Structure 1
Amino acid sequence: MLRLTSTAVVAVLAALTALGPLATDMYLPAMPAMAEALGTGPDQVQLTLSLYMAGFALAQLFCGPISDRFGRRPVMIAGFALFLVASLLCAFAPSIEWLLAGRFLQALGGAAGPVLGRAAVRDIYGPLEAGRVLSYMASTMALAPALAPVVGAGLLLFFGWESIFLLLALYAVVMLAVLAWLMPEPLPVERRQSIAPRAILANYRLLLGQRAFVGYTLTNAAAFAGMFAFLSGSSFVLIEFMGVAPTLYGMLFALIVGGFFAGTLLSGRYSRRLGHDRLIHLGTQMCALGGGTMAALALLGVFSPWAVIAPHMLFMVGFGIVMPQSMAGALAPNPQCAGAASSLFGFLQMTIAAVVGGLVGQFHDGTSHTMAIAIGLGGGLALVAYLGLVKSAPRAMSAAD
């Protein structure tokens, strides 16, 4: 077994948390090809992304509180086992209906990695160090969404879209082995919580009554919705509308992730010096500026890859700052129910993102308008949520520093 405070455990937690971006980003270049192969339209294929987020959100409500009672490790093992079976179902899906079912089951199992990875960081490092560790974890995790579309495009080119889900199944096998033989349990027995519905609901009521928790969560959710709008619509905008090749799309996506990587590095480096709130304020301003610029260019009829990629890089720098700091801010005052806090945080984040992704697919007009406007609104609302809820929250509750 690894030592809990070792760098290796942080790397394992990052790999577990990376399951989320891997399961969403790797098959993005294949979405147009999947629509053609399964005889369906872009809206149905985009629904696989929104349905994944909806299932992910639903699962988080349960896996966090369950892990507060039985520990993080056994719940993660069960989740990755379900993700493995669901990935195989996706790979061999004969129709879009089977693929949708497989994606929903993938989400139910895959939620355990990101949710309990965040909770484990809070278990191990406490409120002061959690923001810094989550930032550096996010920097490491940035490799996953940077490489995932490139890998997905290569697999699509040489082996077909089904091979993408087979690789995800292999990833689940590796993670199951690591969890079974190397990962120690981060939650001490004396901090276990009751699994009674009344106790779970009491924890959720406690969290929703904290203005700072709601503020940090909505700030993150709005920015995440802007990012998810790009995930949902970018392959159809860049590949179908603007004529970008799938391999070039993967490279452009890597630039986007480079922005996120830069943001997480800035977040980790200045976390102790500036604190949660100052960094989140800076990050939300970047999200609003980047998203607003993309929306303005689209409305002015500037339909070029650079008019999408350049503003979204700035948006992602901001999101790279906002994401770990808002997570740490939301979890910091709640060590007694870190699993429930991480669950509720993730549920609201993913639910809002799933709705936005579904709307982007439903109202896609063949141009970049819908996607760009959704990203602009996400950045603007993140800034509004921070200024209206977090900045004005009592300092004792906000746990900003």
Structure 2
Amino acid sequence: MIRRTEATNTEATYGWVERAFHWSIAVLILTALVLGKLASDAPYASDAELSRKAFLFSFHKTVGVTIFLVALARIVWAVSQPRPKPLHGGIEGFAAAAVHWLLYGSLVLVPLLGWAHHATSQGFAPIWWPYGVLPDLPKDPVLSERLGILHVIFVRVLVVSLLLHIAGTLKHIVIDRDKTFARMWSGAEPETLSAARPHVLPVAVAGTVWAIALGVGLALTPPEGTAAPAGSTAVGGASNWTVEEGTLSISVTQMGSAVTGSFADWQAAIDFDETPLTDGTNGTVEVSVATGSLTLGSVSTQATSADFLSSEAFPTATFDAAIRAEGEGYVADGTLDLRGVTIPLVMPFTLDLEGDRAVMAGQVMLDRRDFGMGETYPDESSVGFGVTVDVALTAVRSDAVTDR
């Protein structure tokens, strides 16, 4: 048995560059898998636990980007080198080639999907230096969730491929007792090689597996929601305006980063007239919000949990207010009932009226402590106290809707 220390490959064995790529990626994959599992399972009921969870996710993401870059470098190197011939042909050689193609593709697709999931989400665990300069993508909760599911599916393809690869290696060591492992470990040159040549069918098999994984991932993703008010919440107030479209969003600070999300299910009953009533108001508004419909990036589950919105115990929040003109705009002056706590609330807003159509935009700041939220987070090191609520909607007079 001959051992080689050259950098380049031959038809018999691998050079030290290829071997370094192989074992570096192996260590990185195992590290990323362990970190991903630890991060996903880590609790976040306190400041310390949330900080640890964010650390693990940041570590996992940073290792993932490293895998992507190292895998690309390895592929570029492999293309420039002769491919060592297999030691076995037939079905075994075919299966080994298919698994290798699955591994190569997964090493690119898994971290790429993970980065895209991160870049489109309102995440709180950043990718560390030197990858912090990576570009962001437009924030899209639905797309981010789809990418996250695809990332998980392709991770499973990677894990299965890795297990098959390890099983094949053990067969070569224990049963065949050949030099397949030795030439990747030390560059050993086996005495005999298979006459089998590369074939396109293993690539086709790998492509089929990826296509199936993509189909499964897309089938598991939820249908795209709508930002317009949904119909499961109920409001009972008078209304002479019909909301055509709108968004009810919130923004919080978590681990120093702004995280923005929105409620998919809310309704508003608006009774408004430009001419003030005898009491000086211009009407009333009653808003009902399904708290469990909140999507808040990667912390949606935490936001609706008992620590914060407690959606199971308090599924609906309501805001009842009188509308009156103030300055160049208007205010909605009333009470907010959220999580079993009622507080007075005044929300200023702008209103652009054009005939029977109105465009409204308003913003108000809440303090989570007023509602007993996040009591295990006593300071702002992990979760900020302030919650910014933004409302934007377009409405038409109900009479105008009837006349259409």
Q: Same fold (TM over 0.5)?
A: no
Relative contact order, higher structure (CA 8 A, sep 6+): 1
Q: Relative to total residues, which structure has the larger helix share, 1 or 2?
A: 1
TM-score by length of 1: 0.25
TM-score by length of 2: 0.25
Rg larger in structure: 2
